[in-house]
Structure formats: structure tokens, C-alpha cells
Chain A
Amino acid sequence: MRHTLAHGRRTIGPASPLASLVIDGRQDGGDRRQPGGPEAKPATLYTPTCLAFDLRSGDVRDLLTRLRRRYRYSIILLRAMVASDFKLKYQASILGYLWSLLKPLALFTILYFVFVKLLRIGVSIPHYAIYLLFGIVIWGLFAETTNSGVPSLVQKADLLRKISFPRYVVVVAVGVSALISFGLNMIVIVLFVGLARLPLTLDVLWLPLLLLELIAFCVSFSFFLSALFVRYRDMSYIWDVVLQAGFYATPIIYPLSLVHYAFARFLLFNPIAQIIQDARYVLVTKQTETMTQAFGTPWARVVPVTITIALLTSSVLFFRQRSPSFAEEA
């Protein structure tokens, strides 16, 4: 079915859903923005009815191919952006992406000497070294995603002004890059876990879910911050400070047991604190304060999970609402 102007006989202003639908090709047939796709079909503009997946045919495979076709361009772009970011990041450095491993190790060594040997904070917790490193690595994903997410749109301003493509790809690409170094860091963690002969339990199966929550949390901040930074360049300074404060407000370098328990409960509402404590619990040691211990029920996790979902939803909505103006403002 083709959109003709007869289709929108009513006066069409900027607020008209039809207008935005036709102009913003990403929201309707994503096809239209896949210029190089193999199955070049003759001019077709998809109406919303085409988008509602035709479930009568009842074929899941059909749905999958539709989805794949719809996000084909995004996926191609995402891969290209991540690949070139990766190449650029470690260019002209001799050790290359080994740095992704060495950096957390170096930081770990410093913190270990300061907090374990000098200040003797973590004596109550077995394997405090791994415990510390794991926290740092998880926090590192959050810090890297958001730090490089803030200026991501503005850095790609040239692209935004010259090509029409789904804007979220830029922010997601930054997240994927951070996820890659997170993966490398996790290799170090797994290595230490193996060396320390820590007992592996079925609890480990929680890790993918925790990772999902972590990614959702990181990405939602990235969406908010990158979109805000386009208009308010103060965002980068503000975020520096917030991140610094967040580092200390999260039980990363200190065990939660050092904090007054009422305050510890409050800190755990922070999704990233909940994630770090849970991850340590399932992988490193049971002697760590998770929400189950602090509140006496595992269901207390509903709060940080809800916060994460709410953040993700609102950030996506906010980003979508702002994205048409990125080309002009970035």
C-alpha cells in the first residue's frame, strides 16, 4: 500500500501522527532506510497496518525475518561502528587490547594495597581481592558506557547531519564497545576465581540475568545523557562529578557491613549496588550483604529492578522524542 496525499486528506501539521510516520522512516517500514538491501523491492511505503505482524499466517519464522529485515540496517551499522571504534581505540598502541586487561589489573593492584594491606578494610571477607576486582569491573562497565556515551552523539554530528539512520545505533555502539572490554575483564575475573578454587554453585546461573539488568541500567543512562548533552554541554562536567560520587555511594571498595544497616538498605536500592552485591554473592563469597540479607526477603529486589525498567523505558521515550532534532543541534 502506498501513502498518497489523498491518504491524509485532513490538514497535516507537524503533530500529526501520519506526518511523523511518513517523514520519520524508522518508525514505520524500516525497510525504506535499507538502501543497499538485497531484495530491492519497488516503492512501497508501509502503513501501520503492515507493521502489525500478520499473525494469521502464524509463522514465527516469518516474524523473525520481518524483524531481521526491519533492523537489518541498524545491525549492519552497529557492527561497522563497533568494529571501527575497536580498531581506532587500540591503534598505535603496542599492547593493543591487552590494555583492557591490564588496566583493571593495575587499578586492582593499587586498591588492593591501599584497602587490604594498608587500611585493612576487607579482612572480614574471604577472597577480598577478587571481591574488590569484581566490583570494580562491574562499575567499570557502567562508567565506561556512560562516560563515552555522553559525547557520543555530538562526536558523530557529521554523520547525523548527513545521513538518515536510527540515532540510537550511535549510543548502543558505545555500549557494545564497553561490553567488549567488560568481557575481557571478566576473563581476568574467571581466571582468579579458578586460581582461588572457589566453589561454583548453580547460583552462577543468575549472572546472565544480572548482566541484563546491568546493561539496561547502563544503556538508559547513556540514552539520557547523550540526548541531554546535545543541548546542554554542561552534562559532561556534571556527569564527572555524579560518577565520582556514585563510585563512593556504591559498595565497591568497602564492604557494606561497614555501613550502618539502615543506610546500607538505602544504598542497596541503587540498582548498580544491588547488582554488584548479588554478583559477588553468586560468584565470589556468600559472606556479602545482598538485599536478601538486608531486608530478609529476596523480593526486595523488586525495587531496584523496577527502577531499572522505569529508567530504561523513560530514557528510550526521551531519546525517541529528541532524536529528530539531533541533526540540527548536535
Chain B
Amino acid sequence: MAEAVIQVRSVCKDFSLPHVRQRTLKSRAIHVFRKRREVEVQHALRDIDFDVERGEFLGVVGRNGSGKSTLLKILAGIYKPTSGRTATSGRLVPFIELGVGFNPELTGRQNIYLNGALLGFSKAEVDEMYDDIVSFAELEGYMDQKLKFYSSGMQVRIAFSVATRARADVLLIDEVLAVGDEAFQRKCFEHFHALKKRGTTIVFVTHNMSAVRQFCDRALLIEDSRIVAEGDADDIATQYTQLFTPTAHTAQSPAAPEPEEAAKDRWGEGGAHYTSVIAPQAVTTEDDIVIELEAAADSDIDEAVFGLLISNSSGTVVLGTDSLLRKTRCGGLQASQRVRAQWSVPNVLSDGLHYVDVSIIDDGGTVHDYWKDAASFTVVKDEKSPYAMTPDTTFTFERLNGESGALSPSGSDGSAQSRSDDATV
């Protein structure tokens, strides 16, 4: 069995809320007769138990304020747990953020020495690695300028460049990837790959689920100061994404839409209305997206048309259709008639959160019920794309010059030959 380098046993951390804390002697004097127990306690972490084995890459995910960073700070020895204990063996880098201790008034060079000292490097040691640090950050020629004249990207590069020098058995990283451009993030990733290969144990707090999937062997999901899930990084990343689909994935509408919400998100003449719109919680690559609808008519409608729109998290409408366009007739509805409908779409959408708008229109064009963001679902795909759709597209390649045998199935031998001639010119 692998050796546990970090052991966390029933760790709890409480903070007394600052507004109650007696910060001045006056309030202390005034409240001298009051029992000191009267402080509001916030539980930042409750009953945290886990081990991290040597060489493991553990992801810690959770919403903002769920307690992730507090946990990291306890591991780093910055906070003392209220109860429970942690044991860490090996050299631990006390750094959990980039560029800690940077002073804008000092030059780049001075900041490198300062930052290096915080990592435990003596002046002589920094002297030795100084040139490497500067060239890795690609900032030669800027080192005698004050840090305040650096762009934030340059600052991050310097900070990261110093941080990569840290020699550690255990590394605690908090949200490094939140900063920096794409090139910088790639550098981070490369560094993590190298660390992982070297067998460094890493605890990694992040909101970047693709990083979790890519690097972590295991992950913890912290929600409301507790570990709610622990296990395979992919599963945890999926669970985390689901946290952000609105709490009720099934939007149960009341018998009639509330007047306030009718104003913006729901409107219509009221001849018919949806009673429920259910979207799946998460859709993975293989599944179709199936939206289940139930509606009830409030008056007679000659021909009801059910419409749906899907928009992605940036608000762009990705696709939409209605039963008239799809030539699927629902027919007329009498008052108090109830209908169930199902709409299924092949999963061509890109990874991320999507919203569904639904409507009931009649053939005369009257909108009876329009419900914006009636439901939402999350598409989980390995392919990350900035575009709205990622259908299963296929690439084929063939090499047209050189060895024989790779011929285009459609084009004639002649055309393939001529193209290859072009290429060689």
C-alpha cells in the first residue's frame, strides 16, 4: 500500500465572525460583564477526513466559500484547526499562491530574491538560479524596473518562474490557473506534468474542471464545509458541474405563473401553460438530450404549437424548433386538457451549461405561454470548444506524396497526383 504523506483526521475549523470580535479595548471594556461566549461562530470546515498518498495529485473542488482554501491553509500550517489533526510528512512548500510577498516598490530583481527567500532559498542559492529564473520568465532587460511598472502578466510570469524552483515533496496550489494568458497556462500545465512525473505529491484547489480531469488522480468535492464526494477525478468534476445547474432541475410551475415572474421570464396570453419542464441534469457524449414537458390548456385552442429554444451559458441561442416546423401535430386542446410532450435532440452541444426556453403558441400566432430559462442542463464532454456546437465530426488524412497506397477514395488518381505535384513545388 502506498504511503500516506498527508493525513487529515476529523478536522474542524470555526471562525468567530469578525463583526462580533472585540477589536478595541473600548468594546472590551463596555462588554466586560457580557459573557465572552457570545460570538457568532462560522463553521468553515466540518469533519474533514482524508489521506493523500505519496505521488498523488489530488484535486479539491467546490463552490466559492465552501472551505477549500481554508483546508489548504490548514494543511500548510497557516491556520490551526479548531479540532482534529493533520500530519504532513516531507518537505512542504508553504506557498499556496503565486507572488506572495511581492512588493511593487522593489525592482524585479529584488522581488526575485525576496520571493526566493520565502521559498527558503538563501541569497547564494538565488544567485545561482537567477539567470534561469529570468530567462524562463522571458523578462530579460526588465529586471531593474520596479515591479509596479510591470504588467500583471509579467508579474505572474516572474512569480511562476520563481515558484517552479521550489523543491518540495508536497506542493499545495491554490487557483494558479485563474491568472495568466493561454501560453502561461500551458506552461503551468507542463510544469505540473513534470512535477507529477517526478513523484511530487500535489494538492490542487481549482475551479477549472478540465484541469481536474486532466491532472488529478483523485478529487474531493467540498460543499457547505464538508466533503460531500471523494473519488475519481472525472466523476467529481461531473458532480461539481452539476452543482451549478439550478437547484431544482425540474422547474415545477405553480398552477398559474406568479405575476412578478411573469413580467420578465414568463409571459403570454394564458390560453395554456406549462406545468412542468424537465431537463436531464447532465448529458454526456453518448446521450440524447431529452426534455420532458407537461402543459395544461386553460381555454380551447385550435392548434397548439410547442416551441423550444436552447441557449448556452453566454446567452447565445444555439438551436430551436417547434412542433409545427418539425411537422409533428399536437392538435387542438380543450380547456383543462393536459398534455405530455417529449423533445429529444442529439447531443451536438458543447461542454457547459445550457438553458431551455419553452413556449405554447397557437396557429393564429398568439403566444399563450412563454417561459424563459424554464429548465437547464449541463453537457459534459471531453472536447472543449469555444463554439456552440461540437457534433461528432471526423477528420481523415492521407499523405499525397511519397509512398504509394494512400489514395483519395473520391478523387481520381490523376487529381491526387496533380495536388501532390503542387505541394512539392
Interface residues in chain A, defined as those with a beta carbon under 8 Å from any beta carbon in chain B = 2-5, 8, 12-14, 16, 18-20, 22-25, 31-38, 40-45, 72-73, 76-77, 79-81, 83-84, 87-88, 91, 158-165, 231-234, 324-325, 327-329
What 5 pairs between A and B have smallest CB-CB spacing?
Answer: A80-B117, A36-B120, A43-B90, A43-B89, A164-B77
Would you call A327 and B79 a contact (CB within 8 A)?
yes
Would you call A24 and B120 a contact (CB within 8 A)?
no
16 contacts between A and B (CB under 8 A): A2-B89, A5-B7, A25-B77, A32-B91, A43-B90, A76-B122, A80-B118, A159-B118, A161-B73, A161-B78, A162-B78, A162-B95, A163-B76, A163-B78, A163-B118, A329-B21
Contacts of B119 in A (CB 8 A): 35-36
B262 sits at the interface (CB 8 A): no
Q: Closest CB of chain A to B101's CB: distance in Å?
A: 5
Contacts of A32 in B (CB 8 A): 88, 90-92
Q: Closest CB of chain A to B127's CB: distance in Å?
A: 13
Would you call A88 and B122 a contact (CB within 8 A)?
no
Would you call A37 and B120 a contact (CB within 8 A)?
yes
CA of A204 to CA of B80 in the docked complex: distance in angstroms?
48
Contacts of B165 in A (CB 8 A): 36
Q: A163-B94, A232-B25 are in contact. Are A5 and B9 (CB under 8 A)?
A: yes
CA of A4 to CA of B3 in the docked complex: distance in angstroms?
10
Question: Which B residues, 125 to 179, have Cβ-Cβ distances below 8 Å to chain A?
Answer: 125, 165-169
B23 sits at the interface (CB 8 A): yes
B244 sits at the interface (CB 8 A): no
B115 nearest CB neighbor, chain A only: A80
Stretch at the interface among B103-111, B249-257, B277-285, B313-321: B103-111
Q: A23-B81, A25-B77, A163-B95 are in contact. Are A79 and B87 (CB under 8 A)?
A: no
Would you call B86 and A23 a contact (CB within 8 A)?
yes
Q: A163-B100, A233-B24 are in contact. Are A77 and B90 (CB under 8 A)?
A: no
Would you call B167 and A35 a contact (CB within 8 A)?
yes
Instruction: Kindly name the residue among B5, B101, B113, B165 whose own CB sees the greatest number of chain A CB atoms within 10 A.
Output: B101
User: Of B15, B88, B169, which is within 8 A of A328 by CB?
Assistant: B15
Contacts of A325 in B (CB 8 A): 80
User: Of B82, B95, B117, which is within 8 A of A14 by CB?
Assistant: B82
Would you call A36 and B9 a contact (CB within 8 A)?
no
Contacts of B384 in A (CB 8 A): none
B79 nearest CB neighbor, chain A only: A327
Would you call B94 and A35 a contact (CB within 8 A)?
yes
Would you call A36 and B100 a contact (CB within 8 A)?
no
Contacts of B167 in A (CB 8 A): 35-37, 40
CA of A143 to CA of B325 in the docked complex: distance in angstroms?
85
Q: A164-B78, A234-B24 are in contact. Are A84 and B106 (CB under 8 A)?
A: yes
CA of A32 to CA of B122 in the docked complex: distance in angstroms?
16
CA of A233 to CA of B116 in the docked complex: distance in angstroms?
32
Contacts of A72 in B (CB 8 A): 120, 122
B203 sits at the interface (CB 8 A): no
Q: Closest CB of chain B to A38's CB: distance in Å?
A: 7
Would you call A165 and B94 a contact (CB within 8 A)?
yes
A161 nearest CB neighbor, chain B only: B78
14 further A-B contacts with Cβ under 8 Å, apart from A43-B169, A72-B120, are: A12-B9, A12-B84, A22-B86, A22-B88, A32-B92, A33-B120, A34-B120, A35-B167, A40-B91, A76-B117, A159-B101, A163-B101, A233-B24, A328-B79
Contacts of B77 in A (CB 8 A): 23-25, 33, 164
B93 sits at the interface (CB 8 A): yes
A329 nearest CB neighbor, chain B only: B21
Contacts of B37 in A (CB 8 A): none
B7 nearest CB neighbor, chain A only: A5
Q: Closest CB of chain A to B18's CB: distance in Å?
A: 9
B296 sits at the interface (CB 8 A): no
Q: Closest CB of chain B to A73's CB: distance in Å?
A: 5
Contacts of A324 in B (CB 8 A): 79-80
CA of A53 to CA of B91 in the docked complex: distance in angstroms?
21
B97 sits at the interface (CB 8 A): yes
Q: Closest CB of chain A to B71's CB: distance in Å?
A: 13
CA of A87 to CA of B106 in the docked complex: distance in angstroms?
8
B220 sits at the interface (CB 8 A): no
CA of A19 to CA of B73 in the docked complex: distance in angstroms?
16
Q: A36-B166, A73-B120 are in contact. Are A12 and B89 (CB under 8 A)?
A: no
B70 nearest CB neighbor, chain A only: A328
Q: A23-B77, A36-B167, A80-B114 are in contact. Are A162 and B89 (CB under 8 A)?
A: no
CA of A2 to CA of B125 in the docked complex: distance in angstroms?
29
